[in-house]
Amino acid sequence: QRLEFDLRAALALGEFELFYQPQFHLAENRLYGFEALIRWRHPGRGLVPPDRFIPVAEELGLITSIGEWVLHQACAEAVRWEGELSVAVNVAPAQLAAGTLVAAVRKALDTTGLAGPRLELEITESALLADDGSTIEQLTALKALGVKVSLDDFGTGYSSLTQLRRFAFDKVKIDRSFADDTAVVRTVAALGASLGIRITAEGVETAAQMRRVHQEGCTEAQGYLLSRPVPAGEVPGLIDRFR
């Protein structure tokens, strides 16, 4: 109850912030961008993780306005990073269902000056399941802006392969629950290679996993081994560390 009440005010009070986790290009052996991950800095509760409040925000109908804040904030912070690093933003299914995502992305790019190709949107397949055609249409319009579209948490749903045929995703992110499953990593990497889709291994926590996902053909990796998500202020230091 109390959480719901506070959540309604959080945006106006400026209590949200973005943490960033590095995304690493394996073949080129370099940092290429960061995934933005929202946190709620609540005065009494401390740092609230998204799993605690995103579902509530969805129920309360707050997710589109929070999502628009995330888009703007991520683009505004990324445009100041050194190099042409990309920023990946998670998009809730409700943002696509609302039909306002394309306008929100265009506005974020226009007001911050971030180039479209530096923005990646991470979509889960649940966003595509309910699609009446309008989701694919929006994703197509986003690609026309140069924005990249990734299929997130790949393998956890029950129709992942079907979703790959419905839209030309730029990237597939293998869910972190498969980080140790060589057969799955190898098969999805091979699928990506034959379809010309970049494949990210998520949840890479050990050097052995990193070697394996590289060897099996993933193009990119993300996980605690490289870095946990860090506050925006620590991003420049991380960029230096990866140079």
Among 77, 125, 131, 152, binds Mn ion (CB under 5 A): 152
Answer yes or no whether residue 120 interacts with Mn ion by CB under 5 A: no
Answer yes or no whether residue 92 interacts with ligand G by CB under 6 A: yes
Answer yes or no whether residue 205 interacts with ligand G by CB under 6 A: yes
Return the amino acid letter for 132: D
Answer yes or no whether residue 203 interacts with ligand G by CB under 6 A: yes
At residue 166's C-alpha, the angle toward residues 140 and 59, to 5°, is 75
Nearer to Mn ion, 90 or 209 (CB): 90
Nearer to Na ion, 93 or 112 (CB): 93
Nearer to ligand G, 7 or 194 (CB): 7
Among 77, 120, 122, 216, binds Mn ion (CB under 5 A): 122
Nearer to Mn ion, 90 or 163 (CB): 90
Q: Per CB under 6 A, which of residues 138..197 are in contact with ligand G? A: 152-153, 176
Nearer to ligand G, 192 or 203 (CB): 203
Nearer to ligand G, 34 or 81 (CB): 34
Q: Per CB under 5 A, which of residues 144..203 are in contact with Na ion? A: 152-153, 173
β partners of residue 209: none
Answer yes or no whether residue 229 interacts with ligand G by CB under 6 A: yes
CB of 184 to ligand G, least distance (A): 16
DSSP the chain: -HHHHHHHHHTTTT-EEEEEEEEEETTTTEEEEEEEEEEEEETTTEEE-HHHHHHHHHHTT-HHHHHHHHHHHHHHHHTTSSSS-EEEEEE-HHHHHTT-HHHHHHHHHHHH---GGGEEEEEETHHHHT-SSHHHHHHHHHHHTT-EEEEEEETSSS-HHHHHHHS--SEEEE-GGGTT-HHHHHHHHHHHHHHT-EEEEP---SHHHHHHHHHTT-SEE-STTT---EEGGGHHHHHHHH-
Q: Footprint of ligand G on this chain (CB under 6 A)?
A: 21, 37-38, 49-51, 54, 70, 90, 92, 122, 152-153, 176, 202-205, 223-224, 229
Q: Footprint of Mn ion on this chain (CB under 5 A)?
A: 90, 122, 152
